[in-house]
Structure 1
Amino acid sequence: MASEADQFKAQGNDFFAKKQYDEAIAAFTKAIEVSPLPNHILYSNRSGSYASKRDFQNALTDAEECIKISPTWVKGYTRKAAALHGQGDLVGARDAYEEALKLDPSNAQAKSGLKSVDEAIANEAAQDGASPDMGLGGMFNDQNLWAKLAGSPKTSAYLADPAFVEKLKRIQQNPALASQEMISDPRIMQVMAVLLGIDITMPNGGANPPEPKDSPMPDAPKPAETAASSSSKVEEPTEEEPEEEDDDAKKKAEADAEKAEGNKEYKARNFDAAIEHYNKAWELCQDVTYLNNLAAAEFEKGDLEGCIKTCEKAIEEGRALRTDYKIIAKSFGRIGTAYHKLGDLDRSIEYYHRALTEHRTPDVLTRLRAVEKEKKQKDIESYIDPEKAEEAREEGNALFKAADWPGAVKAYTEMIKRAPSDARGYSNRAAAYVKLLSFPEAVKDCDMAIEKDPNFIRAYIRKANAYFTMHEYSKCIDTLNAASEKDAKHEHYSEIESLRAKALGGRFQAQEPETEEQTMERISKDPEIVAILQDPVMQSILAQARENPAALNDHMKNPEVRKKIQLLVAAGIIRTR
């Protein structure tokens, strides 16, 4: 069953789809309030709802909270960027989209948003009377741009950085961005110098950042080559890095092919063959997804210990590779499932919690709740001991007689834990609660006793006494009526009827500071009295009684009629001599 937070989230999603944004915000707010742990997705959804109704300040606040909870979740940054764009902060929006692309360079939403912001910046520049590209359009649209950059020892290494290449492509589409990018990235200045044929030297901490260890730098050019770099002649780019990239892509393709074969064998339930393919995929390319697939096959094969070890490896490798937290969450979740099947419920609960800490999903939450419920039930069952329950009952009785009511409650509670199906434990504890004037607790225990043994008359009488003491006379009478129905041998007739008479009297007695007339007026408006007096059958019986009082005795043989007549007598509507 879905959690309360998940239910509110689903409602919010439904309202959002219907463009009922206020209702969506209210639903997501409730989900946030009842969620056991801070949930970045809920803040993201509410941010989107605020943005849709153009409340960009609240949208920004929720987006920032989303990022605070999950700093590596790309959508939090796109939410923030959209809110800033809506407020007119184009520079801030651009920075947020850049952060998103650092986390996921292929994210389509971030790319589209960044393009939209760049166009808005260019439009603002045009409206201010400035040339949108500041004369840089021709430079960055040079058909030999990439060849020039690759041929220059000062810029060739830049092309190994995919993010920088993407930045240049955006400047090609909108040259007006070049002036802004020069401030945040000095490499742009070096690029412009190469394109203009100017020889400049950038400081080490500026335009020329340290190269990655696995990116070979081209050999330093000879003097003649340096001179040639300022002319139309360009060097041929080095071939090492493209070859390495091609090799990686080839290995990735081979690994994916092995994974696909593994999936086929998995579906055919040939788990040994699937395991072999997944192992080959991991050897070719270190992608944690392959390890998760391997663990799934081991789980289905029944190798639960092997499954756990593989998932632990996936988590360790995933941390090192900065793998998406959703994939790591799957590893934690599968460990939890494996421990559940092994019967280690404590470890299962531990790993389900760790999975939810990484990424909260309804599936894992449902499994966690099921294991927690199972563990609770097993703990209860393992504690059951009839002999120790009897010892606790005797101890409770002794404490009750000694007027140690709190001690009696504690002893009877132990009896209930040791023998949860024995109605006497609940009934005895109810008697102790009455002595402590804890009447609502006494009523609850009597209800539990009646649930365990519907024919346990003593529980009904104790419940009625508790209601009587609380001046809940109607409930007291209803409980006594139920007791009478169960008391087939009339063993408790006298006690039941005595308490019923007191309850009836208490219900209709004068209440301070009522006068007798006010009491009668209140009684005449009592809903149950009004219903009896308006009942045609009772009207006929009362009419007969007025003409022939002895006829009332015959009608009293009917239990329902007797109960109503007794109520009228107690209320003073019928007076007896």
Structure 2
Amino acid sequence: MSAEQYKAEGNDAFRAKDFPKAIELFSKAIDVSETPNHVLYSNRSACYASLHEYADALKDAEECVKINPTWAKGYNRVGAAYLGENKTTEAREAYEKALELDPSNKMAQSGLDDILRRSSRPAPDMGLGKMFSDPLLIDKLKANPKTAEFMKDPLLVEKVKQLQKSPTSMTQDLFSDPRLMTVIATILGVDLSAGPRDEAEAAKEEPKEEPKKETEEETQQPAKESAAESTEEPAGEPPVSSDKQQADQFKANGNALYKEHKFDEAIEEYEKAWNTYQDVTYLNNRAAAEFEKGDYDGAIVTCEKAVEVGRSVHADYTVIAKSFARIGNCYAKKDDLPKAIEFYEKSLTEHRTAPVLSKLRAAQRELKTREADAYMDKDKAEEARVAGNAEFKKADWPAAVKQYSEMIKRDPSDARGYSNRAAALMKLMSFPDAIRDCQEAIKRDPKFIRAYLRKANAEMAMKQYKDVDDTLQKAREIEQKSGQANGAQMREIEQLLEKALTQRFAPQEGETYEQTMKRVQQDPEVLEIMGDPVMQTILQQAQNNPAALQEHMKNPEVYRKVMILMAAGIIRTR
């Protein structure tokens, strides 16, 4: 079976919710596919996610975006896998990348909305108390097609009843028993099995003129020319003349020689065919042989003649499109990408096909990369940095962003460009963009503490306090390892940590003390710390022996957790 056949059967299995079978079929499709196909990895990722096997889902999703980094749906798969692992920061980055590629991507926007709901969810039982308070819940779940089969298991029914009594008592089962997650999703109205609607979605994501086939393999080098066409004669021709029969015989001889890689002899036969009967197909075949022997200039001349004659005799547009595409291939081989792009576009104007579209995109990407490389200049990057600093001091933030962007284009490897632009973006209140720039700076220089500090400040402005803590803890570790534990940057890290904790648990506007304490005690991280058996032991020891707490706080992780509890008012000092 072909990859396309396996994929079709895999889609059927997915729709039937037979995810293991779908995984098997998509795996076979991947194995027999001639070139890496991003859609197959995307579909298999969806299957793994439906089975809550998020590590495998992430692996396939990352392979998908590696094959086709311009396909927004691939980043949706990455985001869904990270979200399944409760890695909201990474999930948010993936969904934002999807929206960057496709601003109308509803799946990505839905993912971001889900992350926002998670981050703002106030109840310590994750809102389960209210969900499970319905006395008819068991009967409703037994009647729902999505959960009816699960509810035949008395053990699961007992778990649901236990959740009705005490929503916080079964937290571990929520993650160890996927059926419970399905039950909760059913109550919430969330479909956890969003799957590979590949045919329909690809049709929306590609121009309507494209074939419905979703494969979008794009390579930097043009594919090898196919054997000379032998069936290009338009249908419905009048009875074949003797000249045409003779010409077709010459062409058949040429095709046989072409397959034997005897290109010079094949060219001679195609030329005889053309001289016997004026059919543009013979010129296209000759150009194919000239291309394969490396005579790109000769192939261009032949194709130009084919276009000229074809126009005069009103040849089929697909024949003209072939000639233009082959001229594009020749220029690509000659490394003249602007000309290659020009003729690929002409070919697509005549007749739009996926292979030519792929070559056009590959040529455009390569040309863009070359132009960017040619634009790089470290000296001019430094000039732009200095100019950006001057604009920053004048408080002209848009001008500073422009100069720092120029610096990045001139030298993308310099982390300072991203960090400086992040500082200007924060002044413009563009905090998500500032965070992305800080991440780029850290990627280029993982020990660049200033980038961590700016990222933490941007996250704090967005009230992403857990992310602030994670960012600053990484910066703290770097400073400690570098022997700068008592330096100025370490003091700034500690001050930001304290500020973040204070803001995180501070009373909100119009909130009473009781309401504040209730909200604080429902904070997910506070609940996690209070449920940690090790921390419970430490806190019990501290009640009888305060000195024991001081000893335990020499451990950085214990220190961090105790500071969170103190900021939350759980632990109070006299």
Which TM-score band applies after superposition, normalised by the shorter structure? 0.5 to 0.7
Deviation at 1:41, TM superposition (A): 5.9
User: 1:516 is matched with which residue?
Assistant: 513
Counterpart CA distance in 1 for 2:211 and 2:525 is 54
The answer to whether residue 408 in structure 2 is matched with residue 416 in structure 1 is yes
Counterpart CA distance in 1 for 2:300 and 2:9 is 37
Deviation at 1:503, TM superposition (A): 0.1
Counterpart CA distance in 2 for 1:261 and 1:362 is 30
User: 2:563 is matched with which residue?
Assistant: 566
The answer to whether residue 545 in structure 2 is matched with residue 526 in structure 1 is no
Counterpart CA distance in 2 for 1:475 and 1:414 is 29
Change (3 A) 1:556 1:402: same
Counterpart CA distance in 1 for 2:533 and 2:306 is 79
Letter of the aligned partner of 2:533 in structure 1? Answer: P
Q: Helix, strand or coil: the match of 1:269? A: coil
Query: 8 Å contact 1:32–1:39 — kept in the other structure?
Result: no
Higher relative contact order structure (alpha carbons within 8 Å, sequence separation ≥ 6): 2
Letter of the aligned partner of 1:286 in structure 2? Answer: Q
Counterpart CA distance in 2 for 1:561 and 1:453 is 29
Deviation at 1:453, TM superposition (A): 1.1
Deviation at 1:437, TM superposition (A): 1.9
User: 2:206 is matched with which residue?
Assistant: 35
Q: Helix, strand or coil: the match of 1:532? A: helix
Query: 8 Å contact 1:510–1:519 — kept in the other structure?
Result: yes
Counterpart CA distance in 2 for 1:531 and 1:367 is 53
Counterpart CA distance in 2 for 1:254 and 1:105 is 19
Counterpart CA distance in 1 for 2:533 and 2:200 is 54
User: 2:354 is matched with which residue?
Assistant: 362
Query: 8 Å contact 1:389–1:414 — kept in the other structure?
Result: yes
2:496 corresponds to which of 495, 499, 502: 499
The answer to whether residue 338 in structure 2 is matched with residue 346 in structure 1 is yes
The answer to whether residue 482 in structure 2 is matched with residue 485 in structure 1 is no
Deviation at 1:253, TM superposition (A): 2.1
User: 2:26 is matched with which residue?
Assistant: none
Letter of the aligned partner of 2:538 in structure 1? Answer: I
Written as runs of structure 1 = structure 2, the 5 A alignment for 1:51-200 is 104-105=235-236
Counterpart CA distance in 2 for 1:506 and 1:14 is 49
Change (3 A) 1:315 1:34: same
Q: Report the TM-score, using the length of structure 2 for normalisation.
A: 0.59
Counterpart CA distance in 2 for 1:348 and 1:387 is 33
2:307 corresponds to which of 303, 315, 333: 315
1:250 corresponds to which of 217, 242, 249: 242
Counterpart CA distance in 2 for 1:28 and 1:507 is 46
Letter of the aligned partner of 1:35 in structure 2? Answer: E
Letter of the aligned partner of 2:383 in structure 1? Answer: E
Change (3 A) 1:11 1:379: farther
Change (3 A) 1:370 1:11: farther
Q: Deviations over 1:414-454 (max 9, x none)?
A: 11111011111111111111122221221111111111111
Q: Deviations over 1:31-81 (max 9, x none)?
A: 554333x52866xxxxxxxxxxxxxxxxxxxxxxxxxxxxxxxxxxxxxxx
The answer to whether residue 521 in structure 2 is matched with residue 543 in structure 1 is no
Change (3 A) 1:540 1:465: same
User: 2:259 is matched with which residue?
Assistant: 267
1:403 corresponds to which of 382, 395, 407: 395
2:440 corresponds to which of 407, 429, 448: 448
Q: Deviations over 1:210-239 (max 9, x none)?
A: xxxxxxxxxxxxxxxxxxxxxxxxxxxxxx
Query: 8 Å contact 2:210–2:354 — kept in the other structure?
Result: no
Change (3 A) 1:407 1:282: same
Q: Helix, strand or coil: the match of 1:550? A: helix
Counterpart CA distance in 2 for 1:347 and 1:404 is 42
Deviation at 1:324, TM superposition (A): 2.4
Letter of the aligned partner of 2:245 in structure 1? Answer: A
Letter of the aligned partner of 1:309 in structure 2? Answer: V
Q: Helix, strand or coil: the match of 2:546? A: coil
Query: 8 Å contact 2:254–2:270 — kept in the other structure?
Result: yes
Counterpart CA distance in 2 for 1:441 and 1:513 is 31
Deviation at 1:325, TM superposition (A): 2.0
User: 1:191 is matched with which residue?
Assistant: none
Counterpart CA distance in 2 for 1:550 and 1:27 is 62
Query: 8 Å contact 1:11–1:27 — kept in the other structure?
Result: no
Change (3 A) 1:105 1:255: closer
Counterpart CA distance in 2 for 1:29 and 1:513 is 49
Letter of the aligned partner of 1:452 in structure 2? Answer: R
User: 1:292 is matched with which residue?
Assistant: 284
Counterpart CA distance in 1 for 2:560 and 2:432 is 27
Change (3 A) 1:427 1:269: same
Query: 8 Å contact 1:12–1:27 — kept in the other structure?
Result: no
The answer to whether residue 363 in structure 2 is matched with residue 371 in structure 1 is yes
Query: 8 Å contact 1:356–1:365 — kept in the other structure?
Result: yes
Q: Report the TM-score, using the length of structure 1 for normalisation.
A: 0.59
Change (3 A) 1:473 1:40: closer
Letter of the aligned partner of 1:499 in structure 2? Answer: L
Deviation at 1:250, TM superposition (A): 2.0
Structure of larger gyration radius: 1
User: 2:274 is matched with which residue?
Assistant: 282
Counterpart CA distance in 1 for 2:555 and 2:410 is 44
Q: Deviations over 1:432-477 (max 9, x none)?
A: 1112222122111111111111111110100101111222222111
1:557 corresponds to which of 535, 554, 566: 554
Counterpart CA distance in 2 for 1:448 and 1:11 is 39
What is the aligned length?
Answer: 361
Written as runs of structure 1 = structure 2, the 5 A alignment for 1:210-229 is none
Deviation at 1:512, TM superposition (A): 1.3
Structure 1: runs of 5+ lacking an equivalent: 1-6, 19-25, 43-102, 107-161, 163-244
Letter of the aligned partner of 2:375 in structure 1? Answer: Y
Letter of the aligned partner of 1:258 in structure 2? Answer: F
Deviation at 1:27, TM superposition (A): 7.2
Letter of the aligned partner of 1:576 in structure 2? Answer: T
